Amino acid sequence: MRENDISAELVARVSEAFATRTPIRITGGGSKSFLGCRFEGEAVDVGSHCGIVEYEPNELVVTARAGTRLETIESILGEHGQALGFEPPQYSPAATIGGTLACNVSGPARPWRGSVRDAVLGVRLINGRGEHMRFGGRVIKNVAGFDVSRLQAGAFGCLGVMTDISLKVLPKPERNLTVVHELDAQAAVRRMNEIAGRAVPVSGAAWLAGRQYIRLSGTDHAVEAARRALGGEQLEADLWTAIRDHTDDFFIGARATALWRLSVDSTSQAMLEAQRLLLAWGGGLRYVHAEASLGDMSRVAAAAGGFAMRYSHNDENRAFMQQPSPTLRQLHERLKKAFDPAGILNRGRLYDWL
């Protein structure tokens, strides 16, 4: 495994940018470059800042440099029968743990095992002044006080250049099994919510093209008992990796049309009549191919108790994320001012005003 600590170089680059008020653009593996608005700045590459800093299998904690590839982390954890519980998407082999946290992306197990934000114990980051700071801890019992570490989830690099990230890990389940039922979208939403209220070891619930998929994970006994209770056909193919990494035909078969990601109340009827629709997270996450404006999709999502995001390349450099309320916008601006007073870090990637 490649090990490389370039934190001193990164500190020097940010310090110089702060002194000259030069905007910088944080880059890594580039697997999530399609998210966010296009923005200018001198590239600061964190992708070569990589390697495992510390791993304690008995403590269920791993600390990795931000540019470490996800496949590297998963391989090392797998040797000890462990994994990242939030199933981070690997949109390309170059996907890194830093980009995963910055963009706040999690896979199919997110409602049952938590998100990347929930897994973060601590981070080291370089703020907009070039100060290398540590927040949180490296073990679960050490996390206390204001949780700055989790602020980095979904900040898209506008609060700092992350260097090290400490995460909780989970043991791999003894067995995984997926059952399938033929249902329309409305019936699938009802059934997924009904199953969510039962003592069943669910780790994934999705619907696509008239078929509902329920993944069961746990001990062999628990999974087998749940399979008998739920019935249905068993699926042999690895659908969950295809959904996680967006390699299923649903994602790659209609790239000429905008892909929208709506996080909503799992019981909502929002977008269930859409022609090209994929439900995940037990109905709480909805991917839709549609020619629509961000304003239109934001109104749909807000009415369903959630928010909308454009999840495909945005060549016109328009806003891609539902705008926050005035109160939340003020909080965003205050945090930005505190961490990046000169406004040099990833300026305009998350919101054009940040």
Annotated domain spans of the chain:
7-171+333-339, 175-310
Q: What is the pTM of this model?
A: 0.94
Mean pLDDT of 76-94: 97
C-alpha 262 chain-centroid distance: 14
pLDDT surpassing 90 at residue 3 = no
Backbone angles phi, psi at 193, to 5 degrees: -70, -35
pLDDT beyond 60 at 140: no
**Mean of the per-residue pLDDT values of the chain:** 93
What are the tens digits of pLDDT across the range 246-264? Answer: 999 999 865 668 899 999 9
State the amino acid at position 134 in one-letter form: R
Q: What average pLDDT does range 210-239 have in this prediction? A: 95
Q: How much of the chain exceeds pLDDT 70, in percent?
A: 94
Q: Which CATH number fits domain 7-171+333-339: 3.10.20.600, 3.90.1150.10, 3.30.465.10, 3.90.470.20?
A: 3.30.465.10
- Is 66 within 8 Å of 98 (Cβ atoms)? yes
> In the Cβ-directed half-sphere of 59, how many Cα atoms lie within 13 Å?
15
Q: Which of 242, 247, 249 is nearest to 215 (CA)?
A: 242
**In terms of C-beta density within 10 A (0-12 exposed, 13-18 middle, 19 or more buried), how is residue 19 classed?**
exposed
Element (H, E) at 327: helix 326-339
Distance of alpha carbon 126 from its chain centroid, rounded?
Answer: 21
Tokens for 85, please give them.
Answer: 């519980």
Could you tell me which residue, 297 or 37, shows the higher pLDDT? Answer: 297
Q: How far is CA 273 from CA 63, 276, 279, in A?
A: 44, 9, 12
How far apart are the C-alpha atoms of 54 and 60, rounded to whole Å?
Answer: 11
Pinpoint the alpha helices (H) of 86-245.
97-103, 110-113, 116-119, 148-151, 185-196, 220-230, 239-244
Banded pLDDT at 174 (limits 50, 70, 90): very high
The Cα–Cα gap between 171 and 190 comes to: 31
Q: What is the pLDDT of residues 89-138, one digit of tens each?
A: 999 999 999 999 999 999 999 999 999 999 999 999 999 999 999 998 76
Interstrand relation of 42-45 and 24-27 (parallel, antiparallel or unpaired):
parallel
- Per cent of the chain over pLDDT 90 is 86
Q: Tell me the mean pLDDT in the region 1-18.
A: 92
CB 261 within 8 A of CB 285: yes
Predicted confidence (pLDDT) at residue 294 exceeds the cutoff of 50 = yes
Local structure of 115: helix, strand or coil: coil
- Position 137 scores a pLDDT of 72
CB 204 within 8 A of CB 109: yes
What is the arithmetic mean of pLDDT over 159-167?
Answer: 97
Q: What integer pLDDT is reported at residue 255 of this predicted model?
A: 64
Instruction: Kindly tell me the burial class for residue 38, based on how many C-beta atoms sit within 10 Å of its own C-beta (0-12, 13-18, 19 or more).
Output: middle
pLDDT at 142: 45
What pLDDT is stored for residue 312 in this prediction?
A: 84
Cα distance between residue 224 and residue 104, in whole Å = 33
Q: Comparing 97-111, 119-133, 141-155, 201-215, which segment has the lowest mean pLDDT? A: 141-155
Query: What is the side-by-side order of every strand in the sheet holding 307-310?
Result: 233-235, 175-182, 211-218, 202-208, 277-280, 285-289, 259-263, 307-310
Higher pLDDT, 154 or 2: 154
Q: Using DSSP, state whether 260 is helix, strand or coil.
A: strand
Residue 316 has pLDDT above 70, yes or no: no
